[in-house]
Amino acid sequence: MNKSASHLYIISIIFFIAFAIMCYKGYDKMTNYDNSDYSYENAYVGGDAYN
């Protein structure tokens, strides 16, 4: 393998790892969503919060 091909291989591995992390974080937010009155983690405020 030449130098540029090995760099592209390393970059593709880094992007694949980042993709896996983002997919896990999205799936975790989707499955662990809780709209509790007392917990402010992952809270939905209902529309535009700045109006």
Instruction: Give, for all 51 residues of the chain, the pLDDT tens digit.
Output: 788 899 999 999 999 999 999 999 999 988 887 666 666 666 666 666 665
Q: Is the pTM of this model over 0.75?
A: no
CA distances to 3, 24, 29, 41 from 35, rounded to whole Å, are: 51, 20, 12, 9
End-to-end CA distance of the chain: 57
Sequence-distant (6+) residues with CB within 8 A of 1 are: 9
Give the per-residue pLDDT at 26: 92
